[in-house]
Structure 1
Amino acid sequence: MNLEDEFAEHRGALVAHCYRMLGSLHDAEDAVQETYLRAWRGFADFEQRASVRTWLYRIATRVCLNALQHSSRRMVPSALGAPGTDPDDLEAHALETPWLEPFPDVLLNADPAVVVGLRQSLRLAMVAALQHLPPRQRAVLILRDVLAWPASDVASLLETTTAAVNSSLQRARAELATLAPTEDQFSEPDEPVRRALLDRYAAAFETADLTALESLVTQDTRWEMPPIPTWFDGREDVLRLLASKLRPGVGWRLMVETSANGQPAFACYIRGRDGAFHAHSLQVLTLDKAGISAVLAFHRADLFPLFGLPIDRS
């Protein structure tokens, strides 16, 4: 395998790594581009004491840490304040806020077993929690717990001691334990229950069937809509929001299934006055045994092409 092919082989995993660090797909793509530029320029000095993969991750981590010196952490609405209760009193789009972005699973371009192994570390709740950690602490946790690097290798990369890495990792794990769901909370329904749940949700949302939606969401479900800061917590308030915003009837909405962050997702299209369906929001669902426990609906049409989806559909 030539160098160019080897670089290409690692691209999806590198984008995922930078995404965990930065919380933004666009920033992650830029970081990987910068990583490859540095790698090409510095390959003559690469002594191959480590694999090309490890060498690329070292460069990418440094690029991300440098980027984080000049940026704010990525946010979700629920991190900004208390939930709303009035669907007719939504805050204006906060376009200046650095919002967390979803990650298209298709970008991994990896063996399905590899994708399954990466799911937990890419889940939206996990990536959102990582954003609360200081950048170097975030890097330590990702390198040690996601990529399984030895502490000595992480210390070498960060130009610190193994003891400092271990201490930083301990603090990061403790902080993450208060912010991120535990692994057993990621337990989704088994097939075919999961399949039926998603099919019922898509049909109910397309037709604004609130009775069906009520049966699908959990009592403590959460609905967030970046870049709208207002969010809703609990079945009653979420249903009140949907009742207010969903036009009833058939033919007004189209739900196209996709996947993001190792989670089921739907691209929601709204029929316009021209009769065509136009991109509205990308909904990433969190499932548990009881149903749909969270929906993060990104109201950004520009995300659709990243998932291989058109902006408009006839």
Structure 2
Amino acid sequence: MTTTPARPAAPVAEGALSDERFEELVAPLRREIFAHCYRMTGSVQDAEDLVQETYLRAWRAMHTFEHRSSLRTWLYRIATNTCLTHLESRKRRPLPTGLGQPAADPAREPQPDHDRTWLEPLPDALVWGTEPADPATETVTRDNVRLAFVTALQHLTAQQRAVLLLREVLQCSAAETAEALGLTVAGVNSTLQRARAQVARLGEEAADAPAPDLDDPRTRERLAAYVAAFESYDIPGIVRLLADDVVWEMPPFPEWYEGPTQIGTLIGTWCPASRAGDMRLVAAGTANGLPVYGLYMRGEDGVHRAFHVQQVQLRPDGVTHVVAYFDTALFAAFGLPETWHRDDSRSATV
């Protein structure tokens, strides 16, 4: 997908448009429409498909565009309704901590739940590319795609998500939101109130946790120590790097774990590794503003194969949250190979 910085779209001329002219008009908006679809669905693959469907619908309906709103607002209206149609027959995508159950006993073997669809991480490169963003052109911010916020959205109904995003993220008026969703202004206001209350009930203190500063040498040092502890299979070392309130979750396993000791027991009991060198962590950029690593596990044949993708949150006092996504299809999304070799030029640092 394009990573062209968002900029004001040119006015739409009357009459039929060529494919080239249509793409010229809508291409600058693609990345923010993609981010919007991701927030609505919690899935990168679904978001990519929905962006394509949005642009197809927009192309077919361009002759109906009446210039009463901006092209950007018109596209968001199409994208939102495309997402709502998509979500009619689909369940929400939670993380294990969102299932309402207490922290699990690490002595019990985790059991995967493949019947449930789970929240997916958003590779930052899909939205911002590899170049630093220009704050003057930013319409999608790290804050409005942060993991805790997207996780909280999954607890809302599809309509509540749409209203909250249009009103508070995109700054649409109540009247614009009502027109986009076929609601009354009073309906929009009451839906927004319920959505805000639900998000607040889920705990906005977690959503407000700042992303780590990956340019800070101390942050890089802590992440390097974390990688080294895993690659050395140093469980006491891993435990020492975890904050007292650390949470560990690993979809599609519905169990989640809390506290350094419990997580150390989980890794020591159920991780297939048994000695130093069994695991390799390869830096894969960032997702939802957080550092990401591809973890490769050594098999009996000596080959390190894709095992899971880790998304790591940390504070000065240690790692506070790890989501280990046991979906090896995500390796391709982060540009990672299926196997790791000793001569791989990738660094395990951020």
Write the distance in 2 (CA, Å) between the matches of 1:254 and 1:12: 32
Quick check: which one's helix share is greater?
1
TM-score, normalised to structure 2, is: 0.83
Aligned position for 1:175: 198
Match of 1:207 among 232, 235, 241: 232
Q: SS state of the match for residue 118, structure 1?
A: coil
Indicate yes or no: 2:288 matched with 1:261: yes
Aligned position for 2:29: 10
Match of 1:239 among 254, 264, 276: 264
Structure 2 unaligned blocks of 5 or more = 1-9, 11-20, 342-350
Match of 1:219 among 215, 234, 244: 244
In the TM superposition, what is the alpha-carbon distance from 1:127 to its structure 2 partner? 1.2
Write the distance in 2 (CA, Å) between the matches of 1:272 and 1:5: 49
Contact 1:188 1:289 in 2 (8 A): no
In the TM superposition, what is the alpha-carbon distance from 1:246 to its structure 2 partner? 5.7
Write the distance in 1 (CA, Å) between the matches of 2:306 and 2:203: 30
Alpha-carbon distance change, 5 to 270 in structure 1, aligned in 2, over 3 angstroms = farther
In the TM superposition, what is the alpha-carbon distance from 1:79 to its structure 2 partner? 2.4
In the TM superposition, what is the alpha-carbon distance from 1:313 to its structure 2 partner? 2.5
In the TM superposition, what is the alpha-carbon distance from 1:133 to its structure 2 partner? 0.9
Write the distance in 1 (CA, Å) between the matches of 2:43 and 2:245: 27
Contact 2:32 2:139 in 1 (8 A): no
In the TM superposition, what is the alpha-carbon distance from 1:62 to its structure 2 partner? 0.2
Aligned position for 1:284: 311
Aligned position for 1:312: 339
Larger CA deviation: 94-103 vs 173-182: 173-182
Deviations 1:131-151 (A, max 9, x none): 111111111111111111122
Aligned position for 1:90: 110
Aligned position for 1:252: 278
Aligned position for 1:133: 156
Write the distance in 1 (CA, Å) between the matches of 2:180 and 2:71: 15
Alpha-carbon distance change, 248 to 56 in structure 1, aligned in 2, over 3 angstroms = same
Contact 2:96 2:250 in 1 (8 A): yes
Indicate yes or no: 2:212 matched with 1:192: no
Write the distance in 1 (CA, Å) between the matches of 2:139 and 2:307: 29
Match of 1:143 among 161, 166, 170: 166
Alpha-carbon distance change, 213 to 174 in structure 1, aligned in 2, over 3 angstroms = same
Indicate yes or no: 2:322 matched with 1:295: yes
Alpha-carbon distance change, 181 to 115 in structure 1, aligned in 2, over 3 angstroms = farther
Larger CA deviation: 183-192 vs 28-37: 183-192
Identical aligned residues as a percent = 42
Deviations 1:115-159 (A, max 9, x none): 796222212222111111111111111111111112221111012
Deviations 1:16-72 (A, max 9, x none): 111111111121112111111101111122223323222211111001111111111
Aligned position for 1:155: 178
Q: SS state of the match for residue 259, structure 1?
A: strand
Write the distance in 2 (CA, Å) between the matches of 1:226 and 1:282: 10
Write the distance in 2 (CA, Å) between the matches of 1:202 and 1:72: 35
How many correspondences in the alignment?
Answer: 313
